[in-house]
Amino acid sequence: MHKPVIAAVAGLVVGGGLVFLQMADLAIAADNTRISYPEARVGFAGGLVASLAARIPHKLAMELLLTGDAIDARRAYEIGLVNRVVPVGQQLDAARELAQKIAAHAPRVLALLKDFVGEVIPKGPTEAAGIARARILDDINASADFAEGVSAFHAKRAPLFTGR
């Protein structure tokens, strides 16, 4: 996509929501935003989130991914995951304001800049390896640990992973 993508988030931004947030070119978060990636807790992995380490500092990305703990909007701003934090209810207005500012600029130059930046951001494993990596993820998502993680989540109990 050659046009800039602006994310406007509020409340819980979990799992795939974090993937969308990290892939956006710009992001506005309401001050009630809580961001987490709890997939390791439930035995699921999508893979696209791996490029988070190319967008924020490595150790902070690993902490989010490996612990599943949430961060608030202010922390997301501090680590560069969002551009602005605004009061809840103002996130769409702030995103529209950015979009209007950008829309006033030369479209071809904007597309060129977006493409150039896209070329230098390291790709996550799924982005880089495509179908081959997807097969590995399909194996994980068909595993007994995945089924156990989902079952435990629904039953509100701790999962008992076996490595199978």
Which tokens in the block code for residue 56?
A: 């924020």
| Catalytically annotated residues | 39
Q: What share of the chain is helix, strand, coil (3-state, %, to 5)?
A: 55, 10, 35
Which contiguous run of DSSP H or E holds residue 71? strand 71-72
- How long is the chain? 164
Q: Is 36 helix (H, G, I), strand (E, B) or coil?
A: strand
User: Of 114, 126, 121, whose CA–CA distance to 5 is shortest?
Assistant: 114
150-158 long-range Cβ contacts below 8 angstroms, 24+ apart: 150/42, 150/43, 150/44, 152/42, 153/41, 153/42
